[in-house]
Amino acid sequence: MSTNSHSGNDLSEVKQLGMWAAISSLGYIFWLVGGMELVERIAYYGVKASAGLYAKTPVSEGGLGINLSDYGLIVSVWALLQTFIPVLTGGISDRVGYKETIFVSTIVKICGYLTMAFFPSFWGFLAGAMLLAIGTGVFKPGIQGTLVLSTNRNNTSMAWGIFYQVVNIGGFLGPLVAVHMRQLSWDNVFFACAAIISFNFLFLLAYKEPGKEDRLERTRQVKSGEVKQEALWKDALKELKKPIVIYYMLVFAGFWFLFNSLFDVLPIHIAEWVDTSVIVTSLFGPEGTSNGILQFWLGLSNDGTKVMPEGMLNLNAGMIMTTCFIVAALTAKYRITTTMFVGCLLSILAIALVGAFNAAWMIVLAIAMFSVGEMMISPKKNEFMGNIAPEGKKAMYLGFVMLPQGIGWTLEGYFGPKLYDIYASKERIAREVLSDNGMSLTDIANIPQGEAFSRLVSSTGQDPQVLTQALYNANNIGMAWYIIAVIGITSAVGIFIYGKWLLRMQRQQVA
């Protein structure tokens, strides 16, 4: 394959500045967009982390009361819109201006949260998720394009590492807000998120678009006819047809299937099968803790006796928030594709652990291992695309980053909850046991969605935790997670081959 297929793409890897030199070289605009991303992520993860729990909570308790296959349909539509829209909006941001697109996206996202609050039904939540997806798809390229233009090739590794760390501060705080808001009532989660993202209007007052003069000059030249500008879709399609972009999309799609299952399915798995009171007992004794500060920061239940599913998953964001810059510094000296390959392997191992054990501390270990893998792969994808993008197409290429995520997340959004429904849904298993115990199919069908296990508890008279463990032991709950791990393995093999191919291309370009 000739290097002509990469014309305009710079495949060289530049020596990075040291950690402190890189940090001190970042200007105010970098930190400003970091703040905007932080606010947006607090609101976004407030909903994302608890969406599956909201979906399966019975209507009698304020939830949607839908089955996991229906929830999967919502997530797949959400994923499809959120990840494919930036492919178009990236190029629009480059041409129209980052400030303008960030402003519009914030309004759309507020509408999404309010729709979820006012219409608590399958269709209401789907409409809210679609608005949220469109808003996020418009928001991302403007923020990331600004970041690329406010950094240089010598500090990109550190810049993306820090940016990813800031994202995860939002990812850490959002679920904590959701944990405590939803224990009051579910609509409070959505109202809180709408209020939080409104703070970005204040940041926009201080925002100044880097490279605006160049953009306006480019626009002037196009209008005067000095420069011919292709239709946006043609321009994007031309870049997408380059092998370096096509292969990137294919090999990373499997990782994003794996990645999103952690956020879409693991909270449900923890809520149904993992006794998290073991962790609280280990830390504070059998009575738990009544300390409100600890309850908030650890994501505990209001009585302080167990860790809520979002609190467990928050270890992921907490680790990234506190250690991502260290991982960025340690991996800066290695080839980007090598780092991403090792990160993928760690994530696969973590998912296999979730399948093998339901002991609370083993789930903690799996989430910690997954987090290290994520830190090795996720910031690097942006650095990689930002580096190889031709001039004037940075936001477009950062929109392309979303394509493998789009393929992986859309497929996972549909199949992840469905796999879990087939192999591990406590609701489905409880209905089967009720049938085996002699309850008529008509009576079982009349049990509201989400209430089958509590009906089984009352009919057997068993302790809920003892019954949960008995059901876990009698069913192959881990199978869903093993299937997801296998999908990740195919991606890891692809990343390894892609890295070797890219190294050959780099050597050809240098020669």
Q: What is the pLDDT of residues 199-229, one digit of tens each?
A: 999 988 888 766 666 666 666 766 777 766 6
| Comparison of pLDDT for 281 and 5, the residue scoring more | 281
Q: How many residues does the chain have?
A: 511
DSSP state of 242: S
| Comparison of pLDDT for 359 and 226, the residue scoring more | 359
The CB density around residue 123, as the number of other CB atoms within 10 Å, is: 9
Provide, rounded to the nearest whole percent, the portion of the chain with pLDDT above 70: 83
Q: Give the model's pLDDT for residue 156.
A: 67
Helix pair 266-273, 464-474: axis angle to 10 deg: 120
**Bridge partners of 300?**
307
Residue 355 sits at the vertex; the CA angle it makes with 351 and 356, to the nearest 5 degrees, is 115
End-to-end CA distance of the chain: 15
Banded model confidence at residue 338, pLDDT cuts 50, 70, 90: confident
Same fold, 18-223 and 242-510: yes
Residue given tokens 């085996």 in the structure block: 436
Q: Which two tokens stand for residue 511?
A: 């020669």
Banded model confidence at residue 154, pLDDT cuts 50, 70, 90: low
Give the global pTM. Answer: 0.82
289: alpha, beta or left? (left if phi > 0; alpha if psi -120 to 50): beta
Residue given tokens 């092998």 in the structure block: 243
DSSP state of 15: P
Q: How far apart are CA 33 and CA 243, in angstroms?
A: 32
Q: What is the CATH number of domain 18-223?
A: 1.20.1250.20
Give the residue-averaged pLDDT of 49-60. Answer: 92
Phi then psi for residue 50, to 5 deg, are -110, 5
Superfamily of domain 242-510, CATH level 4: MFS general substrate transporter like domains (1.20.1250.20)
Q: Give the model's pLDDT for residue 382.
A: 63
Q: How far apart are CA 471 and CA 377, in angstroms?
A: 36
Residue given tokens 């949220």 in the structure block: 132
Among the residue ranges 46-50, 341-345, 398-402, 499-503, the one predicted with the least confidence is 398-402
Residue 508 has pLDDT above 80, yes or no: no
Q: Give the model's pLDDT for residue 334.
A: 78
Residue 336 sits at the vertex; the CA angle it makes with 335 and 340, to the nearest 5 degrees, is 120
Around 496, how many Cα atoms within 13 Å sit in the side-chain half-sphere?
9
What burial class does residue 131 get, using C-beta atoms within 10 Å of its C-beta: 0-12 exposed, 13-18 middle, 19+ buried?
buried
* Distance (Å) of CA 49 to CA 176, 269, 471, 490, 504: 9, 13, 26, 27, 41
Q: How far apart are CA 272 and CA 477, in angstroms?
A: 11
Residue 7 has pLDDT above 50, yes or no: no
Banded model confidence at residue 305, pLDDT cuts 50, 70, 90: very high
Phi then psi for residue 335, to 5 deg, are -60, 140
Assess contact for 332 and 387: CB atoms under 8 A: no
155-159, 176-180, 193-197, range with greatest mean pLDDT: 193-197
Which amino acid is located at 174 in the chain? G
* Distance (Å) of CA 51 to CA 128, 364, 446: 12, 21, 25
Q: How far apart are CA 496 and CA 343, in angstroms?
A: 11
Domain residues of the chain, as ranges? 18-223, 242-510
Phi then psi for residue 288, to 5 deg, are 75, -155
Residue 402 has pLDDT above 50, yes or no: yes
Give me the torsion for CA of 144, 148, 153, 158, rounded to 10°: -50
Assess contact for 47 and 82: CB atoms under 8 A: no
Residue 4 has pLDDT above 60, yes or no: no
